Amino acid sequence: MRIDRRGSRDGLSLSAGRGNLPPHPTVKFTPKHPRMTSLPVTTEPTLRVNEVFHSIQGESTWAGVPMVFVRLTGCPLRCHYCDTSYAFREGTTMPIAALLERVRAFGCPTVEFTGGEPLAQRNAFLAMATLCDEGFTVLVETSGSIDIRPCHPAVIRILDVKTPGSGEVDRNRWDNLTDLRPRDEVKFVITDRADYEWARELLLRERLHERCNAVLFSAAHRQAGDADIQGCEGLSHRSLAEWILADRLPVRQQGQLHKVIWDPSTRGV
Ligand code: SF4
């Protein structure tokens, strides 16, 4: 419950409905707990943040580029191969102003918002727009389940398309494909041959490679299940490479460079 300085609760006056009743006699109130004297009043926009760190981009055409990562808490999806399920719930609520100060302090001109699903928090659009206006290069990696149109025009969208093997194909928001811009990228995580053929058909039918900077095909890694996700057997990079070459597909195969540099279970890299 939020109580403001005027004694209102969530916009409703606590004295509402008293009509013509006489006022209560004055009662001197002595708070027993010091915190009761200073209830915080804030309309400051906040974000729930899992982690903020400086690392090497491991994926997309930006692989190898040093950047700051802002990982936001929460995701409405549960992909079988998810490797960041720790971000579903863990996090700290931060004012956007404080978050942006942390980002600026790294002295790095490129920032990626990731998750979880960063766009599930509406204030992410505000934070990204502020950084764009300050001259940062801003990327966002999104599940493809949320409308990407509110992104600042300068934001580079790495848009996942969920395959049947992810377990979340029904969450794709297909309208997002009509909003692709030349600097955006589309990413498919492929779990098996059936996923590959599904992605190939969509790619060629929609000519996605002509509508964005790159279409990324990524072999799903082996992932153990947990309380939130089912887990995934994984697909070999070599199998995916041979299929792409045989079909002459206009895509870019990618791995996860950060998991080569650091142990795959390391967080904050
Ligand atoms: S979209 Fe899927 S892979 Fe990405 S954070 Fe959510 S559950 Fe994990």
**Would you state the pLDDT for residue 124?**
98
Count of alpha carbons within 13 angstroms of residue 103, beta-carbon side = 28
Are the C-beta atoms of 44 and 94 separated by less than 8 Å?
no
CA dist 127 and 102 (Å) reads: 12
Q: Could you identify the atom of ligand 1 that is nearest to the CA of residue 143?
A: 1
Closest residue by CA, ligand 1 atom 3 = 82
Going from the Cα of 234 to the center of ligand 1, the distance in angstroms, rounded, reads 16
Is 210 a member of any domain? Answer: yes
Q: Are 167 and 80 in contact (CB under 8 A)?
A: yes
User: Among the atoms of ligand 1, which is closest to the Cα of residue 145?
Assistant: 1
Predicted local distance difference test score (pLDDT) of residue 258: 87
| 74 C-alpha to ligand 1 centroid (Å) | 9
Domain presence at residue 67: yes
Q: What is the CATH number of the domain that holds 234?
A: 3.20.20.70
Nearest atom in ligand 1 to 78's CA? 7
- Residue closest by Cα to atom 1 of ligand 1: 143
Q: Is residue 231 part of a domain?
A: yes
CA–centroid distance, residue 85 to ligand 1 (Å): 8
Q: Is the previous residue joined to 116 through a cis bond, with omega within 30 degrees of 0?
A: yes
Residues with a CB atom less than 6 Å from ligand 1: 75, 77-79, 82, 84, 115-117, 143
Rounded-to-10 torsion of CA 62, 194, 176, 208: 60
CA distance 218 to 199: 11
Q: Looking at the chain, list the stretches that DSSP marks H as alpha helix, in order from N- to C-terminal side.
A: 96-105, 123-133, 193-206, 237-247, 257-261
Provide the residue-wise pLDDT of the chain in tens; the chain has 269 residues. 343 333 333 333 333 333 344 444 444 444 444 444 455 566 899 999 999 999 999 999 999 999 999 999 999 999 999 999 999 999 999 999 999 999 999 999 999 999 999 999 999 999 999 999 999 999 999 999 999 999 999 999 999 999 999 999 999 999 999 999 999 999 999 999 999 999 999 999 999 999 999 999 999 999 999 999 999 999 999 999 999 999 999 999 998 888 888 888 888 88
Q: Are strands 8-9 and 12-13 parallel, antiparallel or unpaired?
A: antiparallel
Residue 35 belongs to a domain: no
78-113 pLDDT per residue, tens: 999 999 999 999 999 999 999 999 999 999 999 999
Amino acid type, 24: H
Residue 76 CA: which ligand 1 atom is closest? 6
Is the Cβ–Cβ distance between 258 and 269 less than 8 Å? yes
The tokens for 134 are: 């300050």
Within-domain flag for 38 = no
Of 132, 130, 141, 167, the C-alpha closest to 72 is 141
User: By alpha-carbon position, which residue is closest to atom 5 of ligand 1?
Assistant: 116
Which residues constitute the domain of residue 239? 46-261
Largest alpha-carbon pair distance within the chain?
87
| Residue 126: predicted pLDDT | 98
Q: Whose CA is nearest to atom 8 of ligand 1?
A: 82
Domain membership flag for residue 14: no
Provide, for the chain, the percentages of residues in helix, strand and coil under a 3-state DSSP scheme, each rounded to the nearest 5: 30, 25, 50
Rounded distance from Cα 262 to ligand 1 centre (Å):
21
Q: Is 123 in contact with 45 (CB distance < 8 Å)?
A: yes
d(CA 49, CA 93): 6
Task: Let me know if residue 22 belongs to a domain.
Answer: no
| CA angle in degrees (0–180, nearest 5) for 172-178-182 | 115
- Amino acid sitting at position 131: L
**DSSP three-state, residue 9:** strand
* 15 assigned to some structural domain: no
Number of domains comprising the chain: 1
Q: pTM of the entire structure?
A: 0.83
How many Å lie between the centroid of ligand 1 and the Cα of residue 78? 6
